[in-house]
Structure 1
Amino acid sequence: MESTSPNLHDALINFSQSYLEQYRDKLGHFPVVEADEQWASPCELSKFNDDLVHWQPIKITEQLSFNNVENALEIKLHPSIKAYFSTIYSESIPATCEHGHLQLLFAWSKDDFDRLQQNLIGHILMKQKLKQDVTLFFAVTDQDDHVVTLDNATGEVWVEKVGRKPHKKLANTLEEFILQLSPDIYVEK
C-alpha cells in the first residue's frame, strides 16, 4: 500500500493547484483567510485587509510523523491517511463531487498538525469505545455531523455520521476520491 503514496501526493498537489488557479481566475487574487497571529502558517502570503490575509496551499518539506499516534494507540495508521496529511499545509479547501459539497481538511502549520493528531486520537478512541472499525476523518460535508473518512483497514473512503458506522462508500482509495473532486470556488463574505 505504500506505493499509492506518490500518486496520492500528486493528486493532492494537482487538486490544490487547480483550486488556487480557479480561485485566482474567478476572483483575481489569492484565497483569503482571517488573520490570526497565534496560528501563523507558512501558507500566508500578504495582507488582504485589516482582518484577512492571502494564502496558498504549499508542499510540506519537513518530515512529519504519526509515530506518536500509532505508539499511543498501538495501531498502525493506513499509509494513505499519513500521505494525505503530510503532503500540503493548507486552509480547508471546498470541493464538490457527485455526492455533494465538502471541505477537505488539512493542517495549516506544524502546530496545527500536532492538534490534528490529537483530534485523530480522539476520533479513534471514540470508534474503539463504540466497538466500531477504525476510520480516520479528512473532510466534512455540508450535512450536519457527517464526515468523510478513510477506513483504516481497507483504505476505502466513506461518509459517516459522527459516532455511527460508515454508511455510504464513495471510493475504493483516497487517490480515487481526490481525482473525482472539483474545486468549489465561492466568494467569502
Structure 2
Amino acid sequence: MSSLAESYQNFLAQTQSWYLQHNLTLQAWSADPTHPAPGQLAVLEDNQVSWQPVRQQPPADFSNVEQALELTLHPDIKQYYSLYYGAGLGASHSRGPLQLLMVWDQADVARLQENIIGHILMKRRLKQPETVFFAITDDDSIVLSVLNSTGEVYLETVGKDVKEKLASSLSDFFSQLSPAAYQGG
C-alpha cells in the first residue's frame, strides 16, 4: 500500500474511532433510497442514511478526464478519489474545519469527473496553474486543492491563483488532520 493509501486509511480509522467515542454516526442525505450506495448502512429519519467508508471495487478510472483535458492528473488525486466510497468526512486542520470530499457511488464518480474538468478549464481560462479540489471549507469560496504539477496541497480561493501551501503531499496533509464533525455549509 502506498503512503497516501496508508495515511488515508489511518485517518479513516481515527475518524471512525472518534465517532464511536463521541456516540456519533456518520450520516448523509440519501441520493436514492431505492438504490443504496456501497457504504450505506441504514436508513435513518428525514431521508438520511448512516454510512461507512467502503473500498471501491473496481477503483474509479480517470483516463476519460485525462483524455478530455489532454493532461495527466497527479497520481495522488487519482488514487485519493479511487480508494473509498463515502459521503465526505469532517476534519480539523490548524487553518480550520474542512470536509474531505468522497464519491458516494459510481454515478457520483461521473459527476466528480465533470466537475474536475470544469475546474481545470476555469483554471486554464484564468491562466493559472491547474489544481484539483479534494476538500471544502466552511467558506464557500475556499477549497483545498492539489497542485496538479507537483502534488502539493494548497488552500485555494476559487478563481484565484494558489498561494498558501499547506503540505508537500496529500499523505503529509492527512497527518495534519484530526477527526471532527463537519458543521460547514
TM-score by length of 2: 0.92
Number of residue-to-residue matches in the alignment: 183
Give the 5 Å matches for 1:9-158: 9-27=5-23, 30-37=25-32, 40-49=36-45, 51-158=47-154
Structure 1 vs Structure 2 CA RMSD: 1.9
Distance 1:134 1:44 in 2: 33
Answer yes or no: is the 8 Å Cα contact 1:13–1:59 preserved in 2: no
Following TM superposition, by how much is the alpha carbon of 1:186 offset from its aligned partner in structure 2, in angstroms? 6.4
Following TM superposition, by how much is the alpha carbon of 1:50 offset from its aligned partner in structure 2, in angstroms? 5.1
Following TM superposition, by how much is the alpha carbon of 1:48 offset from its aligned partner in structure 2, in angstroms? 2.4
- For structure 2, the 5+ residue unaligned runs are none
Distance 1:13 1:159 in 2: 23
* Letter aligned with residue 177 of structure 1: F
Answer yes or no: is the 8 Å Cα contact 2:145–2:155 preserved in 1: yes
TM-score by length of 1: 0.90
- For structure 1, the 5+ residue unaligned runs are none
Answer yes or no: is the 8 Å Cα contact 2:99–2:182 preserved in 1: no
C-alpha distance 118-186 of structure 1, shift in aligned 2 (>3 A): closer
1:70-108 CA deviation, whole Å, 9 max, x = no partner? 011100100000011011111111101111111110111
Higher fraction of helix: 1
Large movers: runs of 4+ above 6 Å: none
